[in-house]
């Protein structure tokens, strides 16, 4: 029996190495394939990361390549003689001693209207005639009128309003040229196209070549982009100031409404709320609200704020309210996770020393949570700053040619301005200008996000 058993064990031992080696052979045979698969899988992963990074790079390079040149614009330098015969206006009013503010303002507005009637185009054309004598000829009048963009006559007017003493003097003035000249000089019009398809007449092209060779027309940094509101009649002077101020008002509303409310709601839910059905409902609600498409908030704004409360259309106050409601969940969620991360021992220590629950939260927990709350708030504000869709529904896509003076005035916002400009028919000028506006918007958002990251890094604490 023992022998038998032994022999059977021997037999097993004798057989098994063969079996094992068979499995090993299988493993060894498949090993190369499996390692190839491993490499392939890892390669695909790395490829996905590289593709994503490339996409980021393409997006930014593309926008920057298009937009950066638009920060410089063709300007023409002219000697303008402020001809007293053309500018025949009464003296600039000075407030008399016996005059009330209102009376003076009335008189000043009348004077401004009088100044507004002056033919400032004449002055610009006279200045132009000095550098292009040909432009005086009758048949070239229309061409000459196309060189300086039409909005610049207001710049000349404002010089007179600012300082009426320049009447009778000659000043060297830098004016924006027409948008088409800017495009042509930047080479964005195919010069081989037939005359009828060029956006400039042959005469204007000839002049522009001449003037830019003389250095009278040159590319300068375009302050107009930053200090002017939008303009339709004079595309070259269209700027972002109106949209920027509109966005600023909306962000103020968000900061003063969504941030305190969101923080308060988060404090209640995290620190005080009893565990019951109502709290559950609020919580589920907030999570869902965070995922509701932004355009739905626009519908809410259109029907509730404008339809029921009769707030004005296109006003930053309505936009601010809509964006506040949209940002609220973001702020609440960020604040709650910050509060959650603060160890209970802090609260227990305060309570143990006799503080009330309210005191423990407001004196001890909240100060520790402030960096995290700020980070969340900044990210929420940045998100609100870039939002476009809801603003279209509350009328903010109408054209506004003035910088809004208050949150109840008509206005647009930066992203909406981008939307409006990309649809402008003067395509080869506004494509670059839109990209420039995008760069401004991205710069603002990246600054905000950078600030948030910096705050988080600086004050991050591991408990």
Partner 1 sequence: MSNFSLIVLLLALMAIGYQLGMVRSRKVAIVNPQQKMHSRPHHYGMMVGLWAVIPAFFILVLWTLLSPGVINGMVAAQLPAEALAAEGLTADVIMRRISNLATNFGVVAEAAQWELDAAAYMQQLQTSSALLLTGLMAAIAAAGLFFSFKRIQPHLRARHQIERTVKAVLIICSTVAILTTIGIVLSMVGETIKFFSFIPPADFFLGTTWNPRFSTTGVSEGSLTGSQGSFGLLPLLSGTMMIAGIALLVAIPLGLMVAIYLAEYAPANFRATAKPIIEVLAGIPTIVYGFFALVTVGPFLADFGASIGLTIRATSALTAGVVMGIMIVPFISSLSDDIITQVPKALRDASLGLGATKSETIRKVVLPAALPGIVGAVLLAASRAIGETMIVVLAAGNSPTLTANPFEAVSTITVSIVNQLTGDNDFASPQTLVAFALGLTLFVITLLLNIVALVVVRKYREQYE
Within residues 54-113, the interface with partner 1 by CB under 8 A covers 55-56, 58-59, 62-63, 66
For residues 387 to 426, the per-residue mask of contacts with partner 1, x marking binding by CB under 8 A and - elsewhere, is xxx--xx-x-xx----------------x--xx--x----
What is the C-alpha R_g of the chain? 34
Q: Of 23 and 139, which CB lies nearer to partner 1 in the complex structure? A: 23
For residue 408, the 8-state DSSP code is: T
* 264 is an interface residue for partner 1 by CB under 8 A: yes
**Cβ atoms 72, 221 nearer than 8 A:** yes
Shortest CB 378 distance to partner 1, Å:
12
- According to CB under 8 A, which one of 240, 302, 317, 366 is a site residue for partner 1? 302
- According to CB under 8 A, which one of 224, 366, 431, 436 is a site residue for partner 1? 431
Helix (H) or strand (E) holding 101: helix 101-116
Shortest CB 89 distance to partner 1, Å:
30
Shortest CB 59 distance to partner 1, Å:
6
- According to CB under 8 A, which one of 248, 304, 311, 451 is a site residue for partner 1? 304
Instruction: Compute the distance between CA of residue 326 and CA of residue 402 in angstroms, rounded to an integer.
Output: 27
* 429 is an interface residue for partner 1 by CB under 8 A: no
**Cβ atoms 144, 176 nearer than 8 A:** no
- Mark residue 93 as left, alpha or beta (left: phi above 0; alpha: psi -120 to 50; beta: remaining): beta
Q: Of 207 and 430, which CB lies nearer to partner 1 in the complex structure? A: 430
* 120 is an interface residue for partner 1 by CB under 8 A: no
* 313 is an interface residue for partner 1 by CB under 8 A: yes
Q: Of 370 and 453, which CB lies nearer to partner 1 in the complex structure? A: 453
Contact window for partner 1 (CB under 8 A) among 71-79, 102-110, 223-231, 288-296: 288-296
Instruction: Compute the distance between CA of residue 288 and CA of residue 182 in angstroms, rounded to an integer.
Output: 49
CA angle 424, 244, 247 (to 5 degrees): 105
Positive or negative, the CA dihedral 92, 95, 98, 99 is: positive
* 272 is an interface residue for partner 1 by CB under 8 A: yes
Instruction: Compute the distance between CA of residue 442 and CA of residue 449 in angstroms, rounded to an integer.
Output: 10
DSSP states of 308-344 as a string?
Answer: IS-PPTT-HHHHHHHHHHHHHHHHHHHHHHHHHHS-H
Q: Of 86 and 296, which CB lies nearer to partner 1 in the complex structure? A: 296
For residues 325 to 354, the per-residue mask of contacts with partner 1, x marking binding by CB under 8 A and - elsewhere, is x--xx--x----------------------
Which residue in 349, 374, 334, 394 sits closest to 456, CA to CA? 374
Instruction: Compute the distance between CA of residue 365 and CA of residue 377 in angstroms, rounded to an integer.
Output: 18
**Cβ atoms 242, 402 nearer than 8 A:** yes
Instruction: Compute the distance between CA of residue 450 and CA of residue 463 in angstroms, rounded to an integer.
Output: 24
* 442 is an interface residue for partner 1 by CB under 8 A: yes
Q: Crossing angle, helix 316-341 and helix 366-385, to 10 degrees? A: 140
Contact window for partner 1 (CB under 8 A) among 87-95, 109-117, 137-145, 260-268: 260-268
Helix (H) or strand (E) holding 391: helix 389-393
Q: Of 161 and 445, which CB lies nearer to partner 1 in the complex structure? A: 445
Instruction: Compute the distance between CA of residue 258 and CA of residue 371 in angstroms, rounded to an integer.
Output: 17
Shortest CB 429 distance to partner 1, Å:
14
For residues 209 to 248, the per-residue mask of contacts with partner 1, x marking binding by CB under 8 A and - elsewhere, is ----------------------------------------
Shortest CB 118 distance to partner 1, Å:
29
Shortest CB 459 distance to partner 1, Å:
18
- According to CB under 8 A, which one of 161, 166, 269, 368 is a site residue for partner 1? 269
Shortest CB 442 distance to partner 1, Å:
7
* 382 is an interface residue for partner 1 by CB under 8 A: yes
**Cβ atoms 240, 226 nearer than 8 A:** yes
Q: Of 35 and 105, which CB lies nearer to partner 1 in the complex structure? A: 35
Footprint of partner 1 on 14-53 (CB under 8 A): 27, 34-35, 37-38, 40-42, 44-49, 51-53
* 306 is an interface residue for partner 1 by CB under 8 A: yes
Contact window for partner 1 (CB under 8 A) among 129-137, 164-172, 226-234, 429-437: 429-437
């Amino acid at each position: 029996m023992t022998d038998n058993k032994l022999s059977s064990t021997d037999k097993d031992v004798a057989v098994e190495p063969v079996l094992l080696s068979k499995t090993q052979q299988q493993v060894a045979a498949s090993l190369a394939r499996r390692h190839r698969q491993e490499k392939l899988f890892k390669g695909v992963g790395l490829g996905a990361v590289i593709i994503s990074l490339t996409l980021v790079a393409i997006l930014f390079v593309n926008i920057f390549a298009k937009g950066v040149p638009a920060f410089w614009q063709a300007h023409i330098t002219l000697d303008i003689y402020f001809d007293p015969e053309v500018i025949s206006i009464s003296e600039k009013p000075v407030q008399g001693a016996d005059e009330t503010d209102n009376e003076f303002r009335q008189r000043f507005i009348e004077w401004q209207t009088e100044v507004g009637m002056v033919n400032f185009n004449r002055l610009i054309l006279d200045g132009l005639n000095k550098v292009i004598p040909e432009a005086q000829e009758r048949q070239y009048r229309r061409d000459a009128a196309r060189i300086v963009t039409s909005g610049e006559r207001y710049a000349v007017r404002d010089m007179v309003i600012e300082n009426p003493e320049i009447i009778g003097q000659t000043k060297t003035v830098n004016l924006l040229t027409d948008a088409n000249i800017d495009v042509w000089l930047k080479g964005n019009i195919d010069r081989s196209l037939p005359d009828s398809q060029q956006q400039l007449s042959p005469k204007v092209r000839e002049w522009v070549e001449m003037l830019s060779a003389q250095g009278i027309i040159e590319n300068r940094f375009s302050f107009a982009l930053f200090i002017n509101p939008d303009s339709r009649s004079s595309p070259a002077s269209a700027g972002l100031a109106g949209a920027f101020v509109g966005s600023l008002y909306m962000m103020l509303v968000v900061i003063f409404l969504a941030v305190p409310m969101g923080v308060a709601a988060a404090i209640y839910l995290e620190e005080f709320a009893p565990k019951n059905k109502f709290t559950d409902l609020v919580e589920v609600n907030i999570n869902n609200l965070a995922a509701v498409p932004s355009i739905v908030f626009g519908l809410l704004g259109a029907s509730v704020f404008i339809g029921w409360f009769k707030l004005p259309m296109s006003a930053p106050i309505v936009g601010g309210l809509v964006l506040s409601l949209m940002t609220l969940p973001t702020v609440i969620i960020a604040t709650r996770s910050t509060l959650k991360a603060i160890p209970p021992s802090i609260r227990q220590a305060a309570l143990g020393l006799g503080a009330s629950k309210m005191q423990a939260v407001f004196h001890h927990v909240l100060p520790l949570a402030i960096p995290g709350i700020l980070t969340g708030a900044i990210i929420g504000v940045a998100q609100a700053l870039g939002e476009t869709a809801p603003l279209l529904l509350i009328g903010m896509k109408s054209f506004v040619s003035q910088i809004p003076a208050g949150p109840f005035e008509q206005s647009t916002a930066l992203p909406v301005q981008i939307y409006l400009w990309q649809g402008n028919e003067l395509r080869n000028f506004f494509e670059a200008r839109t990209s420039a506006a995008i760069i401004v918007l991205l710069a603002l958002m990246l600054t905000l996000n950078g600030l948030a990251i910096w705050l988080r890094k600086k004050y991050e604490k591991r408990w």
